Amino acid sequence: MGPRRRILKNTAAEAEQFRSRAAIAFLGVLLALVGLGLWYFRLQVWEHADYATRSEANRIKLRPVVPGRGLILDRKGRVLADNVPAYRIEVTPFEAGKTEAWLPALSKIIALTPEDLARFEDERRASRGFKPIPLKLRVTEEEVARFAVDRWRYPGIELVSYLNRRYPYGDVFSHVIGYVGRIDAKDLETMAEGNAALTHIGKTGLERYYEEALRGKVGYEQIETNVDGRPMRQVGHVPATPGADLRLSIDLDLQQAMVTAFGDMDGSAVAMDPRTGEILGMVSLPGYDTNLFVNGISNADYRALMDNPSRPLFNRNVLGGGPPGSTVKPLIGLAGLDSGLRTPEYKVFSTGTFYIPGQRRGWRDAHGGAGWTDLRKSISASVNFYYYKLAYDMGIERFDQYMRKYGFGQPTGIDLAGENKGVVPSPEWKRKRSKEPWYAGETVNAGIGQGYWIATVLQLVRGTSAIANGGNLVRPHLVAARRDGYEAPWTPLPQPAPSRITDNASNLRAVQEGMIATIHGGGTGAAMARGAPYMMAGKTGTAQKISRKGSVSFDPHNLPYNLRHQALFVGYAPADNPTIAVAVSVEHGGFGGSTAAPIARKIFDAYLLGKMPEPVESDPKSVRPRAPDAAPPDEEDAPPVPVTAPAGVKAAAMQPPAVPVQSPAAPRQATPEPTR
């Protein structure tokens, strides 16, 4: 192996190579510096506002401020729905971590029910992890103190103060004011994004109808926090706008008097100022404690309400309704006058049974033959025969037209949601529900408020008010005024112009005189006039659930509870200058004159005289003997039970010798049904 050859270095080539590499490296560094400079320029100049906002968001947190819900007051300024301070425990799942890590220890400090835990889990699964979820809605002061001591042990769990809705007279106004409840997923779909911080929303009654006005507008606070997220100080805020206060037309004293007047009977009643449409009192009995629903009702309490056969959750005034019985006779009589078919002095001869020409089946009058009867007598003595013939002569199309003019078959427009519009019997209504034709007997049946009729107590008091005030059909309403702020003045809520039911003052006066005679002229409501220092006008009514057999009438107090008649009364007072109109419906109450009319008298006395009724024991579920001096049962609106003419006597021969009126042709007679 020979000696290694020595390679000589090319100094010039190496120098050139070094210069080339150095230039490339320098260019790379220069490009990097330029890129870095551009990057810093982008951060510091072009996107400064965006990153400044993000930085501020890390330091400043927005805390929503829930506004105080508006108060609800009665006409004298007494609070019917207010807000009281309370505390709740809220958990932010993202910060608190798994439930198993904090729940056992927290349960030793704060009493948590299975329902609290179940509700929390349902909301946790349905919401995002960074949104606070209520764990317990009402925390006691003792629990607040215990939690405050160990607050540092529970990150993501906060004690939040808020205003809790309270109803001082919950069961008295349960179907008027209603209640607020926890917001659910369905509510969130209909609410604006800015209201996501709200926890409660109106569910029923006025709380629901005026939800937007009562809830107010959510505000927020800007809270500076440290690196651990702990609040340090407030650096800014946008105040919440409180909800509007509502002043009702209802009088608390009258409302309580109406509840007392019913005793323990089920039913409903409405008292209204006939001049303005202001509701003075409105009850649906039995009621329920609305405070149970504010923060979630327990299963036991809810089951107790649902299992109650009297259905306390059912609003009888708004959602209910049934045959009005004889309480619509004044309006039907007015329709006969305004249509030109009758005059106030026109008389029919009541034989006790009405027959359609050519028919052998007839409709009896509960009182038997009343003889010659004009409009006033037909109202005061409740002569069915008069209205059988009037409805038949009028025809169902014209009958339907006038009843709708008086407000039946349509909502009254009261400021409560879900109002039942009722039913006015008509061929069109029947065609939509069955393929059977309309029969003349059904027209006769409708003439005394029976058959397919469905009228609400609100419709009855509205129609009665139109008679009382001279013919104006006003809109019933509960809220008289609102104010947007404690120092703001009350602003009356505008109401639509009333419609007219008649422009004939003499016809209306004849109807009014008949209603006065019902009470002060020895009519079916005479018993309620005893000792009254003022005059009343009214009409009793009874909607039967079971018809008589042959010539035998049932005493409703001896019938099973579920078969007893619906007792009704409508009226107004004082008769010469009406300031209050009422409609009363007593479920399974017997007869209108003996059950509903006395309740109406107590309502009149409470409003006009300030005389509060004495509590009474009046259980309609038991058989009660009538007192010796009690008024005889009022059977004025028994259902039109068909009877057959005696053998050998033609039906035409039993027609009353009244002035003949052209009658429509009758296809065939249908057997009238007792009221359901």
Tokens of 330: 């004044």
How far apart (Å, rounded) are the C-alpha atoms in residues 282 and 172? 9
How many CB atoms within 10 Å of residue 41? 11
Task: Report residue 141 CA to chain centroid gap.
Answer: 35
Neighbouring CB atoms inside 10 A of 472's CB total: 17
CA dihedral defined by 276, 281, 285, 290, rounded to 10 degrees?
Answer: 110
Bridge partner list, 364: 353
Helix (H) or strand (E) holding 83: strand 79-91
Which member of 249, 326, 382, 465 is catalytic? 326
Question: SS3 string of 593-607?
Answer: HHHHHHHHHHHHHHH
Q: Look up residue 416 and give its DSSP letter.
A: S
Per the annotation, the verdict on 585 as an active-site residue is no
Q: Is the dihedral of CA 6, 12, 18, 24 positive or negative?
A: negative
Please answer whether residues 350 and 472 qualify as being in contact, where contact means their C-beta atoms are separated by less than 8 angstroms: no
Beta bridge partners of 552: 549
Alpha-carbon gap, residue 591 to 510, rounded angstroms: 25
Cβ partners under 8 Å of residue 673, min gap 6: 445, 451, 639
b vs e for 184-195, b when ≥16 Cβ sit within 10 Å of the residue's Cβ? eeebeeeeeeeb
Please choose, from the candidates 673, 639, 633, the residue with its C-alpha nearest in 3D space to the C-alpha of residue 364: 639
Which residues make Cβ contacts (< 8 Å) with residue 211, sequence separation at least 6?
A: 201, 202
**Residue 428, SS3 per DSSP:** helix
Helix or strand run (H / E) with residue 1: none
d(CA 71, CA 84): 11
Q: What is the rounded distance in angstroms from the CA atom of residue 561 to the CA atom of residue 550?
A: 22
Check: CB of residue 541 under 8 Å from CB of residue 570.
Answer: yes
The 3-state DSSP class for residue 283 equals: strand
Picking from 99, 144, 137, 143, the residue whose alpha carbon sits closest to that of residue 121 is 99
> Would you give the distance in Å from CA 425 to the centre of its chain?
25
Distance CA 577, CA 468 (A): 8
| Nearest C-alpha neighbor of 619 from the set 589, 594, 591, 658 | 589
- Angle, CA of 501, 598 and 625, to the nearest 5°: 135
Residue 268: both structure tokens together: 């409903």
In our burial notation (b when 16+ CB lie closer than 10 A, e otherwise), range 135-151 reads: bbbebeeebeeebeeee
Task: Give the C-alpha separation, 356 to 374, whole Å.
Answer: 20
Q: Could you tell me the two tokens for 379?
A: 């109202």
Amino acid in the structure at residue 505: A
How many C-beta atoms lie closer than 10 Å to residue 42's C-beta?
A: 12
The Cα 145–Cα 139 span in angstroms is: 10
Give me the active site residues, please: 326
